[in-house]
Structure 1
Amino acid sequence: MTHYLVTGGSGFIGAALVRRLLNDGHRVRVLDDNSRGHMGRLAGIADSVEFIGGDIRDADTVRTAVRGTDAVLHLAAVNGTRHFYEKPEVVLDVGVRGMLNVLDACRAGGVGTLVLASSSEAYQTPPVVPTPEDVPLVVPDVLNPRYSYGGSKLISELLAVNWGRTGFDRVAIFRPHNVYGPDMGWEHVVPEFVRRAVAAMALSPPRGPVAFPIQGDGTQTRAFVHIDDAVDGIVTVIDKGEHLGVYHVGNPEEVSVGDLARRVVACFGREAEVIAGPPAPGGTGRRCPDIGRLERLGYRPRVPLAEGLPGVVDWYAQRIAGDAPLRAAE
């Protein structure tokens, strides 16, 4: 049994990871301020988790949370594309100050194992697709607030690797690629498309195509990984990742944004008429991970988009129909 601290443990990925660690017989402590996460994600396991409410930017809180643990899994961050544009200073503050606090606390507490959640946003527009882990990390335009998140992850990787050269037994990094699943928050593409589909169908005749506006022309591609597969990949990094190793966690099943829109609408038994619009400033045309490095450690994604998407669409559609609060801050 290992005693883990999971920062950001009431977030979407963090909470799923906490459940997996408990199921595997480990002891888990969570640090989160619930500014984007919420305790509902820990329903049914809250009594088995030691929860510390606090801000990753507060050094004393982080030191208290790290003390007495065997390993730190650092996932705390401000994700969600809308946040990158609207509050980039907070995105950077949480990302960079939080990383420094975690590193200081690990050294002060004698914690030798650190696993950092980075992001595919750290390399922005990749020069090779499918993309391996050794491509350059890039901030294309410091004036574009979108890159606040990718920049914070780039800096965090630099800090983790270079601090990790001494004073740590093992530091490993994983870069998740478009993780999706129920209760992931509303400011991501899949739940946003569900919300858009529901609104579009309400304004459309009961039969025939549903007008569905998107950003860009729909040819942009992404590769989505179901939360269950993502957690499998993260646990593989935790268990088998090399010291100073960097690993993509994802599913190399590439899909265009236009096709994703059509698939979401098809989950309602309708057909989408995709309508192109202006692209998001700083967006990336194509992104898909090469997961060969993690596959060599035994990882295999098991949930194709065709199987995983309908359940997630249904989860969000039910909450829209039930007038559940649309917690944009999640």
Structure 2
Amino acid sequence: MTEWDSEDVLVTGGASFIGSHLVEDLVDHGANVRVADDFSSGEMENLTAVRDEIEILDGNLKHWGFADEATEGIDTVFHLAADHGGRGYISQYPANCATNMTLDNIVYEAAAKNGVDRISFASSACTYPTDIQKEKRRLREDMVSFDERGGAYADEVYGWAKLMGERSLQAYQEQYDIDASIVRIFTAYGPRENETHAIVAFMAKAYAKQDPFQIWGDGEQTRNFTYVKDITRAIRFAAENVTDGTPVNAGISRYVTMNKAVEYIFDYLDWEPDEINYMTDKPEGVRHRAADTTRAEELLGWEPQYTVEEGIRKTLDWYLDARDREYVQKNLETLLHER
């Protein structure tokens, strides 16, 4: 088990929702943390708690010079930077998502040139074949294969880009002997997430008292909503325990319908709409998604610590404190569609 005390660590995308939580975790464990972010979706405010304890570089990691600067003198790279958003975003902006393939390889190449010891890549459940998610079938890491014909069938361009990010990192591990770990993140949510993702979108709509309340699809599609602190712990554990680029799931094994998630939010806010409008013409993604966490338990000693109910309460507490109701009401459509 690696001690992070005095380890020089780079978190790309460190001002983002997940990245900022990881930065806090690493600082708590004694690491010297550098953040590289272009602040296209990340916010400086997300780093307020640790601002005086970290180094922050503002720039675009698709530019070789900046990637070189960011990785110089670094022991471990946590690579979270990506062009991404919720289901609506990845459906509408496939070319933006495709640029992640360039971003990933520039970061890996710069890291290799600068003698980085270890790279941990934040991948996604979108790497899994979409056709096996029509029924409730927990996703195992070996359901994606680069060795079998037809072994990959990712979810939209974003999923393919993440899958190529995995394969590229494995190639760098093979050629440069860099320790590599990959974490497939499943439906993360929590404080600092924006309103383009389902849980916080539901919170925004309920906070604004949207009525009829809009749910994309019929509300019976499921996700394994996983609290952000469980995700960041899995990323850290993977870097500590995996060196050969073996992918590991970070998600809960429970199927939670959109309707159930909304019910938890209504209950906590003590409010519900008179009518729900199920928008079946909107993108809703795969039908069912939950993680098989056997490999994470075996390789990392990891399992989720937060229930969905507890995580939603914590996230709602943050949202109500962070957002003004009148502002959300006036800007709801913009918040829901711009990352």
Flag whether TM exceeds 0.5 (same fold). yes
Partner residue in 1 for 2:253: 252
What amino acid sits opposite 1:83 in the alignment?
Y
Superposition map of 1:3-18 within 5 A: 3-18=8-23
Corresponding residue for residue 304 of structure 1: 307
Q: Contact between 1:79 and 1:149, CA under 8 Å: does it hold in 2? A: yes
Q: Is the 8 A contact 2:120 2:235 kept in 1?
A: no
Distance 1:168 1:52 in 2: 27
Against the structure 1 CA distance between its residues 261 and 164, is the aligned structure 2 distance closer, same or farther, given a 3 Å change threshold? same
What is the CA-CA distance between 1:243 and the residue it aligns to?
Answer: 1.3
RMSD (Å) for aligned C-alpha atoms: 2.1
| Aligned residue among 305, 323, 329 for 2:327 | 323
State which drifts further: 5-14 or 160-169. Answer: 160-169
1:283 Cα shift?
Answer: 1.5
- Report matched runs for 1:173-184 at 5 Å: 173-184=182-193
* d(CA) in 1 for partners of 2:277, 2:75: 51
Which SS does the other structure have where 1:316 is aligned? helix
Number of the residue aligned with 1:188 = 197
Aligned to 2:157: 148
Higher helix share: 2
Inter-partner Cα distance in structure 2 for 1:282 and 1:164: 36
Please state if 1:135 is matched with 2:138: no
Q: Which moved more, 1:104-113 or 1:308-317?
A: 308-317
CA distance in 1, matches of 2:318, 2:204: 11
Q: Secondary structure at the match of 2:184?
A: strand
Deviations 1:140-198 (A, max 9, x none): 6xxxxx71211210111111112221203311100111111111111100111112223
**Cα deviations by residue, 1:290-309 (Å, 9 ceiling, x for unpaired):** 11111122112111011111
Contact 2:180 2:239 in 1 (8 A): no
Partner of 2:227: 226
Query: Do the aligned partners of 2:128 and 2:139 also contact (CA within 8 Å) in 1?
Result: no
How many pairs align?
A: 316
Query: Which residue of 2 is the match for residue 63 of structure 1?
Result: 68
Q: What secondary structure, in the 3-state scheme, does the structure 2 residue paired with 1:233 have?
A: helix
Which sections of structure 1, spanning at least 5 residues, go unmatched? 141-145, 204-210
Following TM superposition, by how much is the alpha carbon of 1:59 offset from its aligned partner in structure 2, in angstroms? Answer: 0.8
Cα distance between partner residues in 2 of 1:294 and 1:242: 14
User: 1:329/1:11 Cα in 2 relative to 1: closer, same or farther (>3 Å)?
Assistant: farther
Alignment of 1:265 with 2:273, yes or no, is no
What secondary structure does 1:185 align onto? Answer: coil
Structure 1 position 162 matched with structure 2 position 166: no
CA distance in 2, matches of 1:9, 1:291: 26
* Per-residue deviation, 1:45: 1.2
Please name the residue that 1:86 is paired with: 92
Distance 1:256 1:169, change over 3 A: same
2:128 aligned with 1:123: yes
How far apart, CA to CA, are the structure 2 residues paired with 1:282 and 1:271? 22
Match of 1:43 in 2: 48
- Pairing 1:108–2:110 present: no
CA distance in 2, matches of 1:304, 1:221: 16
**CA separation of 1:198/1:74 partners in 2, compared to 1, >3 Å: closer, same or farther?**
same
TM-score when normalising by structure 2: 0.87
Q: Is the 8 A contact 2:216 2:284 kept in 1?
A: no
Q: Distance in 1 between matches of 2:129 and 2:202?
A: 22
Pair 293,242 (structure 1): closer, same or farther in 2 beyond 3 Å: farther
Q: Secondary structure at the match of 1:323?
A: helix
C-alpha distance in 1 between matches for 2:38 and 2:104 = 16
- Counterpart AA for 1:237: A
Q: What are the superposed Cα offsets for residues 43-100 of structure 1, whole Å, 9 maximum, x if unpaired? A: 031121111111011111001110111111110012213321333222211x111111
Residues 276-319 of structure 1 deviation map (CA, whole Å, 9 limit, x = unaligned): 32154471000000111111221121110111112312332441
Structure 1 residues 234-278: Cα deviation after superposition (integer angstroms, max 9, x where no partner) = 111111124121100112222111111222222211346544321
Question: Do 1:72 and 1:111's aligned partners in 2 also have CA atoms closer than 8 Å?
Answer: yes
CA distance in 2, matches of 1:188, 1:101: 28
* 8 Å CA contact retained: 1:6, 1:31: yes
